[in-house]
Structure 1
């Protein structure tokens, strides 16, 4: 199994369709914590829904258009990171993340996304990496700042979840900035 150590007991590795049941169990256990920020949580908290999501990313990866990785802590799936959007023609991609509440505050997302940004810029030749989050999601905003991203602006009421509208902040870092921003 290919993996990348993030911390002593944490590793980043591919999250694949055959792991749908493990993903569904993880999301169901963290559902209340994740739900305010991630509109896909309800649909992925079942094995069938998780399988659909993971197959969608496997297909996207085969086309060179996206990727999804899990974060395992002590052998337990505890979160993930993904290239939610990947547009090689324009050189722009978007990173997305989630983490179970019991492993927040350890720098796991920051470390994982740092590796992803390095790969996007230095291996795949991307020009811009974006990070989008609800303007009320303080942990996500702080992570974008730790990554050295710049707040490009706010898309007012651009997201709707469970009948409520949210402002979405767009953060980014450019390839030319990346070595000095970290």
Structure 2
């Protein structure tokens, strides 16, 4: 933000927001796309399918940078899903594969701050059945679109362990801007975490939305499901 206004004391101040009002809390409702849909996470509906989907992983590395997990026992995993599904911040969603109608991952809106129009996407836990598919990108797009277009938030955040290279790469691919590192910000799993911060703001959103919409078109994928144009290339154009 560039200050363009001086107050009566000749101090630079930020842009005025005369029409601003606090944003609504996100309603916990389904969000439908072409390749997937997001449903409010529910252990009775989703725990068994999620446990099966995560079981396709060869090892537990996908859980290294998450606050909990991995889970070798279905009962312990169901208890975990029941616990996180009951919260309203983070607000957890199951990602449902449109082809199989089964849950293949989860993600959440968290640190929801309606007064300032700020929300974070986090707890992104995608199984091998979802990773690197059009549905994985669409799941992220559906939440972004909900936050910016339907709820009118100003800022959408992504945070991760600064050592989590795949998460940092994912944030940049999705159009988030790197903002810096908060040193020793979190303690989890008995270790220290420096946190990398990324964001998308409302001014970034219209061209980013157009790139997502182009990328997600069926004709952007060949017969083997490989992309013809990358999301980065569509953003650049």
Task: Quickly say closer, same or farther: Cα 1:128–1:26, change in 2 above 3 A.
Answer: farther
1:20-69, Cα deviation, whole Å (9 max, x unpaired) = 6437735873681332111133689432232121111xxx2xxxx65321
RMSD: 2.8
d(CA) in 2 for partners of 1:139, 1:77: 22
Is the Cα–Cα contact under 8 Å of residues 50 and 105 in structure 2 kept in the other structure? no
Gaps of 5+ in 2: 1-28, 210-237
Between 20-29 and 164-173, report the one with greater CA deviation: 20-29
Gaps of 5+ in 1: none
Large movers: runs of 4+ above 4 Å: 42-45
Larger Rg: 2
d(CA) in 2 for partners of 1:39, 1:6: 30
d(CA) in 1 for partners of 2:30, 2:118: 26
1:138 aligns with 2:165: yes
Task: Quickly say closer, same or farther: Cα 1:108–1:137, change in 2 above 3 A.
Answer: farther
Question: Greater strand percent: which structure?
Answer: 1
Q: 1:22 aligns with which of 40, 48, 58?
A: 48
Task: Quickly say closer, same or farther: Cα 1:106–1:13, change in 2 above 3 A.
Answer: same
Which residue number in structure 2 is paired with residue 86 of structure 1?
A: 112
**TM-score, structure 1 normalization:** 0.79
Aligned positions, number: 173
1:70 aligns with 2:72: no
- 1:144 to partner: Cα distance: 1.2
d(CA) in 2 for partners of 1:23, 1:34: 17
Task: Quickly say closer, same or farther: Cα 1:180–1:49, change in 2 above 3 A.
Answer: same
Is the Cα–Cα contact under 8 Å of residues 109 and 121 in structure 2 kept in the other structure? yes
d(CA) in 1 for partners of 2:185, 2:85: 25
**TM-score, structure 2 normalization:** 0.63
Q: Give 1:111-150 correspondences, 5 Å limit.
A: 111-150=138-177
